[in-house]
Structure 1
Amino acid sequence: GIGVDTTGSSPMPVDSSGTPLALHPKFKDNLNAQVWLWKDHTGYEEAAGITAVAAKMRPAYMAKVGGTYSSEWFWSKIWHCLNVDPSVFDAADSFVEICDYIPGLLTGKTAPNQLARSICAAGHKAMFNTEWGGLPDTEFLAACDPRLAELRGRLYDTAYPSNHLFGGLTDEWAGKLGLRPGIAVAVGAFDAHMGAVGAGVGEGTLVKILGTSTCDIMVSPRQKGFADIPGVCGIVDGSVIPGMIGIEAGQSAVGDIFLWFVNNLVPEIYGRTADEKFINLGRQAAAQKPGEHGLLALDWNNGNRTILVDVRLSGLLVGQSLHTKAHEIYRALVEATAFGALTIINRIEEFGVRVTEIVNCGGLAARNPFLMQVYADITGRPMKVSRSDLTCALGAALFGAVAAGKEAGGFETVEEAQIKTTGIKTTYTPDEENHSVYREMYALYKTLHDAFGTRAWTGNLGAVMKDLITLREKQRRERK
């Protein structure tokens, strides 16, 4: 069978046959008619409007998505499209997530009313929940904009987990792919959620998909139940594993922060190419003790996804001197992303979901041992790395095999497929001495986090720089 994972929320305007508007001559040069990729944050005002309307009319909507609607999600993108380019919105029969469109393309069922929509996309990004009958109701949408309410009837009323069979592969696509016509194509989902399945997610396991950004995925048995978690990116039944509640959190930039730094600020003494610079930065940064650089950063160069859910935040670096080196800044940026990861873990556990194991996957986990060790030292927890370097593809393949079923050579359940195909390659164990220093630094990180990220903070930043200098001096004395 075939499974499909894509980024999301990445909706696309289509006509009544499911043809993307971008393929129409009228819109071929119009970016607004193309896919609105997840990373696009231009709908931040619309996201704030959705949050405000929900707070007044439908607080339950926000409770299931962490309390704040994001500009990275479905409705804010569509509403922004309406506001900046009504011609595209008016020409669209519907808006379709890429993870729904591709299975439709492979099976010859691209018309919006033929698509089996993903519960992963619908629940985490479009406020779909069976508790209130699916998508947000027309009264709520009309309070945002009456034209959104008119669109609702051309969207969908049902959504499915990815073990559900979407359809069979068409002759045309079988010929293009060199596969047998009619083989099973599963309902699609987002890359992070399928990546978590490919990394072996189960109860108590937090899977971190580490790449340009980071997604954190957990599952909890449906019958257990738990409180809504402020600041997460959704709590959705069946979004990861059928029959279990999926929890999503994450950071809007991780690898992208490091790449920005290397491409723009690292001198050639560290190497001529980006790869050479990363190698030398990592080697020299790893030789330092925690706190020895005297630096502390906030990892918000692309906003904050969890727990503040605010794209109107930016990166910060405190503690620079005339002697600060590029590899010291690199270490501070890596540490900042790890402090952000710890903040997410603490929030999830605060609301009753216990994290007993952390499994990492994605490009950074596979290729950056320095980063993995820092994550272990800062969280004080072993950092396991998935056996597969391609967990998103593996997870998608597993869903394809489950949708195909045992008689076709597949599996009956996702859990059965995971037992046969997933595992751990490497484990990074925390250094207790480093962890002790990082506890001090995390307290300072939380001060910066709350001071710059929340309006309610009433503390004092006066000691942060001096505390960093004191720690720097202490660590350098101990090295001597």
Structure 2
Amino acid sequence: MGVVAGVDSSTQSCTVELRDSVDGRLLGSGRAPHPPTSPPVSEQHPDDWWAALRSSFAAALAAAGLAARDVDAISVAAQAHGLVMLGPDDRVLRPVKLWNDTTSSAQAAAMVAELGPAGWARAVGSVPTAAFTITKLAWVARHEPEHLTSLARVLLPHDHLSHRLTGRAVTDRSEASGTGYYAAHDERWLTEHLERWVSPGLDWDSVLPHVAGPSEPAGTAGTPSAGELGLRPDVVVGPGAGDQHAGALGIGLAPGQVLYSLGTSGVVMTTSTTAVHDASGWVDGVADAAGGWLPLVCTLNSTKVTDLAARLLGVDHAELTRLALAAERRPDRMVLAAYLDGERSPDRPRARGLLGGLRSDATREELALAAVEGVVLGLVRGHDAIRQAGVAADGVVVATGGGARSRAYLQVLADALGVPVETRDAPEATARGAAVQAAAVLHGADVREVRDAWAPFRTVVVEPLGSIPEEVREQYRALTGWAQPTETAPAT
């Protein structure tokens, strides 16, 4: 049979899926939490990721009735952008600044002002925000320069976990393309960016990892850390990927189809055979995990918005869904600009949420609906931006992530787009996508072939029942314009 393990080390937790390496059948899964974080300072220690991986791997083995020695390949997908800094002895120099840490917004603004949005889009396919790794390195250079003097490796979250398994510093093009110092269209690190905005005195070529191809092994699991998991030393380790990139593999996203990922962050994405360079700053023209491109728009505020609404209303998520679906769809209803913790798309790190359209007869149902619509309307704007960047994004719409379990999210998305929205049998799409990659490296296959062979079947289709009135959309656009403070942020 052969068994592969797919790992999803996300912001909130680590999930491991064990699958049959030939047909992709799920054998067992496990999950363990990560320490909670909240912007503007959002940091975790990589030791906590490893502890969660050990726990979730053991749980998956128990659920499958397998032993660690039965696993033949493993691949790790993880949250993107996070800055892992290691010293000469592979000691972690400081906690990892995560993708949603916004403290480097001043560095991001300075970089964009210097090179210009168009210059950045040409260089790396995206315009940096505080999410990008290069801005976090620049923040360290300004505030903690002592760490640069002992810096031996710069890794991303999935690189670090793979490094613990193999002892090799390896990343993949999907993750590298979100750093701000890798040109995926030229397949090279832009060390000149690091010299210009971080430090000219470092040998950056020796600090950065090897960039593996989509089906290229990162190595084998021969380290003491891999031994802690009970893995055989000949277990092959895949190149890994960013979480959204692996999710596209796991969902079986075909060309032209559009994926809405509703999790801690909200992401709308599609696939492309050509590189995308969007000078507006909305669309990240990143590489995918299959040899192509994955133009996407990422928002900071997704299911956390409905988490807050449920807490304020004193209900669980099932009741929040019922309330939202029961709300009267009046055109002058309550509208939420859902920038609770700042925003990434558009780049408004200091923004906060605004609620408009309050009336004396406002209802609990209307507030629940406003929370869902506030998330969806932000992502629909991102979908429009992808089209405006010249990418065909008009195929089947698929929703995934925790929010896709809510009928309210699916219905509001279908109504906002005016097209059906479907879900697929891939509740843990990122872990599934990592398992796809592990199977490809185990069998020496093209990852695209395994992706298509394992494509999950459709589970739910939600048809639009109406539309979101233009009055609501106009109110939303007005609120998002007011949500960002007008004063200039101090340089820090």
The TM tier, using the shorter chain, reads 0.7 to 0.9
Q: Contact (CA 8 Å) 1:43, 1:71: kept in 2 or not?
A: yes
1:294 to 327, 333, 339: 333
The structure that is strand-richer by fraction is 2
Q: Counterparts of 1:167-178 in structure 2 under 5 Å?
A: 167-170=219-222, 172=224, 175-178=227-230
Q: Which of residues 243, 268, 289 is equivalent to 1:240?
A: 289
1:19 alignment partner, one of 91, 100, 122: 91
- TM-score, normalised with respect to structure 1: 0.79
Task: Answer yes or no: is the 8 Å Cα contact 1:219–1:240 preserved in 2.
Answer: no
Distance 1:352 1:190 in 2: 24
Say if 1:66 and 1:156 are closer, same or farther in 2 by CA, change over 3 A: closer
Partners of 2:359 and 2:412 lie apart in 1 by 23
Q: CA deviation at 1:173?
A: 5.0
- The answer on 1:221 being equivalent to 2:273 is yes
Contact 1:65 1:234 in 2 (8 A): no
**2:213 maps to what in 1?**
161
CA contact (8 A) 1:293 1:324 kept: no
How far apart in 1 are the matches of 2:216 and 2:401? 26
Answer whether contact 2:153 2:208 (CA < 8 A) is retained: no
Aligned-pair distance for 1:453?
6.1
- The alignment status of 1:37 with 2:98, answered yes or no, reads yes
* Partner SS, residue 311 of structure 1: coil
- TM-score of the superposed pair, with normalisation by structure 2: 0.77
Distance 1:127 1:294, change over 3 A: same
Distance 1:132 1:183, change over 3 A: closer
Separation of aligned partners in 1, 2:239 and 2:208: 14
**1:125 counterpart (179, 194, 204):** 179
Structure-to-structure mapping, 1:339-378, within 5 angstroms: 339-355=377-393, 356-365=395-404, 367-378=405-416
Answer with 1 or 2: which has the greater Rg. 1
Contact 1:233 1:249 in 2 (8 A): yes
User: Does the 8 A contact of 1:338 with 1:379 survive in 2?
Assistant: no
Q: Which moved more, 1:225-234 or 1:212-221?
A: 225-234
Shift of the alpha carbon at 1:452? 5.1
Letter in 1 for 2:161: I
**Equivalent residue for 1:6, pick from 78, 82, 93:** 78
* Equivalent residues of 1:124, 1:233 under 8 A apart: no
The answer for the alignment partner of 2:197 in structure 1 is 144
- Counterpart of 2:54 in structure 1 is none
TM superposition shift of 1:172: 4.2
1:322 Cα deviation (Å)?
Answer: 3.5
Structure 2 residue aligned with 1:475? none
Q: 1:430 aligns with which of 464, 471, 477?
A: 464
Query: Contact 2:269–2:383 at 8 Å: present in 1 too?
Result: no
Q: 2:425 aligns with which of 387, 402, 412?
A: 387
Structure 1 segments unaligned to the other structure (5+ residues): 22-32, 110-114, 271-275, 456-480
Which residue pairs with 1:398 in the alignment? 436
Change (3 A) 1:16 1:310: same
Task: Map 1:68-467; keep pairs closer than 5 Å.
Answer: 68-109=127-168, 115-129=169-183, 134-138=188-192, 140-145=193-198, 147=199, 150=202, 152-156=204-208, 158-170=210-222, 172=224, 175-222=227-274, 228=278, 230-237=280-287, 239-242=288-291, 244-263=292-311, 265-266=312-313, 268=314, 270=315, 276=316, 278-291=317-330, 294-306=333-345, 308-355=346-393, 356-365=395-404, 367-406=405-444, 411-431=445-465, 434-435=466-467, 437-450=468-481
Residues 204-246 of structure 1: per-residue CA shift (max 9 Å, x gap): 0112221111122321124xx6663633452234x3321x122
Shift of 1:185: 0.4
Letter in 2 for 1:430: P
**Does the 8 Å contact 1:66/1:232 carry over to 2?**
no
CA separation in 2, counterparts of 1:424 and 1:451?
40
Deviations 1:108-164 (CA, angstroms, capped at 9, x unpaired): 33xxxxx122211211223301566733343x544435x255263443375223421
Is contact 2:222–2:234 with CA below 8 Å preserved after alignment?
A: yes
8 Å CA contact 1:214–1:253 kept in 2: the answer is yes
Task: Name the SS for the 1:353 alignment partner.
Answer: coil
AA at the equivalent of 1:200: G
Structure 2 SS opposite 1:207: strand
Q: CA deviation at 1:106?
A: 0.8
**Paired residues, what number?**
413
Q: Provide the C-alpha distance between the structure 2 equivalents of 1:131 and 1:412, rounded to a whole number of angstroms.
A: 20
Alpha carbon RMSD of aligned pairs, Å?
2.6
Q: Deviations over 1:48-89 (max 9, x none)?
A: 11112222xx95333466663111110111111222222333
One-letter amino acid matched to 1:420: W
CA contact (8 A) 1:65 1:231 kept: no
Query: How far, CA to CA, are the matches of 2:236 and 2:373 in structure 1?
Result: 44
Secondary structure at 1:124 match in 2? coil
Identity value in percent:
21
Amino acid at match of 2:308: W
Q: CA deviation at 1:103?
A: 1.0
3-state DSSP class of the match of 1:290? coil
Contact preservation (8 Å) 1:3, 1:187? yes
More helix by share: 1
